[in-house]
Amino acid sequence: MTIDSDPLPTTLSWAARLLWGEAVALGLVAVWLAYENLTADAFDLASAVLITVFAAGGALALWALGTALARRRAGARAPAIVLQLMLLPVGWYMIQGGLGWLGVPLMVLGVGVCALLLAPASTRALGLPH
């Protein structure tokens, strides 16, 4: 573990904040899915519960990655980038399904967080080679 007295660069700080924001949003989706599982007539309860657990796990992963990046853990950058790149196909299919108002911002968010994580200031703060 590296102890660095320098303040966290703005790029890395914003990347962590956006990951935490995504975690909160996905956590709210998981809560809504849990409510639906308990109140709706489920055709396939096992699948419904699995999707809810997947959403909750994703929220936990995003929160943990944001926290690790805020603590300058270099190993968290690659998984965070992978999760952000997963927003591209999700956003694309939302656009195709008529939800462009949500799909486009998701795609922009994914690319934006990747840019923040790959910024030279973030790379230096994480102690990674340039």
Question: pLDDT at residue 69 above 90?
Answer: yes
Please provide the size of the chain in residues: 130
The percent of residues above 90 in pLDDT, for the chain, comes to 88
Helices (H), ranges, the chain: 10-39, 45-70, 77-85, 87-96, 100-118, 120-125
The percent of residues above 70 in pLDDT, for the chain, comes to 95
Structure tokens at 72: 């300058």
Domain locations in the chain as residue ranges: 11-125
Q: What pLDDT score does 43 carry?
A: 79
Structure tokens at 66: 């944001």
pLDDT band at 2 (very low <50, low <70, confident <90, very high): low
The predicted model gives 34-51 an average pLDDT of 89
Q: What pLDDT score does 4 carry?
A: 54
Question: pLDDT at residue 55 above 60?
Answer: yes
∠ CA 70-22-107, nearest 5°, is 110
pTM listed for this prediction:
0.91
Q: 10 Å Cβ neighbour count for 59? A: 20
Question: pLDDT at residue 24 above 90?
Answer: yes
